[in-house]
Structure 1
């Protein structure tokens, strides 16, 4: 079985969800509830990631993430993942720097949107994920639209992710406002799906909360990881 190396801690809440999701997906694929995959987790500092992105220190961000991936490789990992959306700002650079096989959350989310034949997809996440082009590129390159909230909405979403969700805090009023933003995007932007582009967002938004298709990036990523672990 190829051994996974997961760069986690970005943030801690979703790393726990990744751990559980990977195990469940792996057991589903093997058909054995008593089979547990063995894999490595290197937990790094989420706030350092945010600081480096916010200050535009891309080279230092690549070095920080690449060092974590290389540590996992030295410990025996055959392939690696970055267990969050925001660090994928420099995913390609990290992959090239390390030479380690890696599974991208962005690439897998695009594949799922394409499989579902979604053509006009909304994206919510940290301001870094919404402002930058790394998530938009595969969609635009394949003739699909990717829509983000307006500036004020982006500020609100980012604030609540950092101050609440990343700390495990879930508030009903925050959920209501997030759903209002998604509803506005459906009505005004015509989106036919919504990407939960922060791996903490499923703590807040559940499948039954929206009429349009939700793309849970954590679950999509976990499914691809489990496939790689069982050799599919």
Structure 2
């Protein structure tokens, strides 16, 4: 029997819904029939988290995520995922507080980059992901240097994600803007880009990227299903 996957969602619910679909599709591809991924999700209310972050009360955000992880433990989850890249800025605090293995969103992305021989890649996501901090530091600790876009492009990405994608709005003009940002990375000599936002795949679905794209959301979901089925031998 597959392990029960725990999910901390709501950051935003748009990407949480995408995770649910990707997990179930991945499980059905492996097992066929009417199989799907056994999972339990705690959905956080996003607005209070955004307000706390805007006020610099990041400890409140980390604590809310950790409390959700504890609820997953009580619900019987056997490992858990944070369904947002930005939330991984608090991954170490959350893991320390929750007696349950955390599958970091970067783990399968690092594995895919290393398999392709890539040690330096572009990064697109929210300003809290593309700026200096725990997210990029974690990748650096794994031997991957993530290169953010220029500041004006970072601001544009943040606005597209916060004002459109987390609200369920898909604007073709924003898709072209993101593709232009990625093309700028290609022109700067990068060979790959990490899609470090769990809403961006909703905007980029079906789009031809100017360079190799590593979708953290899809890779995370695929890795979760592999772990649930013990395909990789489980956690060390």
Q: What TM bracket, shorter-length normalisation?
A: over 0.9
Distance in 2 (alpha carbons) for counterparts of 1:155 and 1:203: 19
Identify the residue that residue 234 of structure 2 maps to in structure 1: none
Equivalence for 2:40: 40
1:7 aligns to what?
Answer: 8
Determine the structure 2 residue equivalent to 1:131.
131
2:178 is the counterpart of 1:178: yes
- Figure out how many residues of one structure are paired with residues of the other and give that number: 230
Q: Give the match's secondary structure for 2:16.
A: helix
Aligned position for 1:104: 104
* TM-fit CA distance, 1:44: 0.6
Deviation at 1:133, TM superposition (A): 2.6
Name whichever of 149-158 and 106-115 sits farther off. Answer: 106-115
Counterpart contact for 1:73–1:100, Cα < 8 Å: yes
- Contact 1:29/1:227 (<8 A) preserved: no
- For the residue of structure 1 that corresponds to 2:162, the secondary structure is helix
Alignment deviations for residues 188-208 of structure 1 (CA, whole Å, 9 cap, x no partner)? 2x1111111111111112465
Give 1:24's aligned residue.
25
In the alignment, structure 1 residue 146 sits paired with structure 2 residue 146? yes
Over 3 Å counting, the alpha-carbon distance change for 1:25 and 1:187 in structure 2 is same
Residue 118 of structure 2: aligned partner: 118
Structure 2 CA distance for aligned equivalents of residues 47 and 109 of structure 1: 29
Structure 2 Cα separation of the partners of residues 96 and 142 of structure 1: 19
Contact 1:29/1:230 (CA < 8 Å) preserved in 2? no
TM-score normalised by structure 1 residue count: 0.92
**Corresponding residue for residue 210 of structure 1:** 209
How much does 1:85 deviate? 0.5
Task: Report what 1:163 is aligned to.
Answer: 163
Determine if contact 1:107/1:138 at 8 Å carries over to the other structure: no
Is contact 1:26–1:229 with CA below 8 Å preserved after alignment?
no
Unaligned runs of 5+ in 1: none
Q: Does structure 2 conserve the Cα–Cα contact (< 8 Å) formed by 1:15 and 1:83?
A: yes
The change in CA–CA distance for 1:2 and 1:144 in structure 2 (over 3 A counts) is closer
| In 1, Cα distance between equivalents of 2:157 and 2:23 | 27
Alignment check: 8 A CA contact 1:7 1:41 kept: yes
SS of equivalent residue, structure 2 residue 122? strand
Please, which runs of 5 or more residues in structure 2 have no aligned partner?
Answer: 232-236
1:193 aligns with 2:187: no
TM-score with structure 2 setting the length:
0.91
Q: CA RMSD in A?
A: 1.6
